[in-house]
Amino acid sequence: MYYSPDVYKAIAELLKYGYNFAQIVQQLQLTEKKLNLWLRRYPDLAELMRCVTDPIDNQVEAALLKRALGYEQQEVYCEDIVDKKSGEVLEELKRKTVIKQVPPDVRAAMAWLQNRRPQRWKSTAQEADNNVPTDPEDADLL
């Protein structure tokens, strides 16, 4: 396959749907080497890959951090008088705003730490996985 405006459009479309580098290679039946060559040779393609993926990665990173640390969420409750036949709101009786505390999520915190500080956090998870018996005779020890 040769690089062309059609390839650029195809990559742009895949990026729009959240495909990553490896998925683009697979979908377009390329090699990683070829896509890397195109990224070095065609600055417009490299810029496209960076511009599309960076904002999405930043949004996901911010959402993961928010979830890992916990946050406050505002909820509004309304009591209304509603016409049973038409479903129309006739009068709003009460409007109550409540601020709820969403607790930190341990899995989100672990994902954050394992990716940001792998030397301190990945080894613990990997050691736990390595301690699982693989011999069927040892399975009853679990």
User: What are the beta bridge partners of residue 79?
Assistant: 94
Query: CA-to-CA distance for 139 and 130, rounded, in angstroms?
Result: 14
pLDDT in tens for each of the 142 residues of the chain?
A: 888 999 999 999 998 888 888 999 999 999 999 999 999 999 999 999 888 777 777 888 899 999 999 999 999 988 888 888 888 888 878 888 999 999 999 999 998 888 888 888 875 555 655 655 555 555 454 4
* Radius of gyration of the chain measured on its C-alpha atoms: 25
Residue 105, class by beta-carbon neighbours within 10 Å (0-12 exposed, 13-18 middle, 19+ buried)? middle
The verdict on pTM exceeding 0.85 is no
Query: CA-to-CA distance for 109 and 129, rounded, in angstroms?
Result: 19
Q: Domain limits of the chain?
A: 5-69+105-131, 74-100
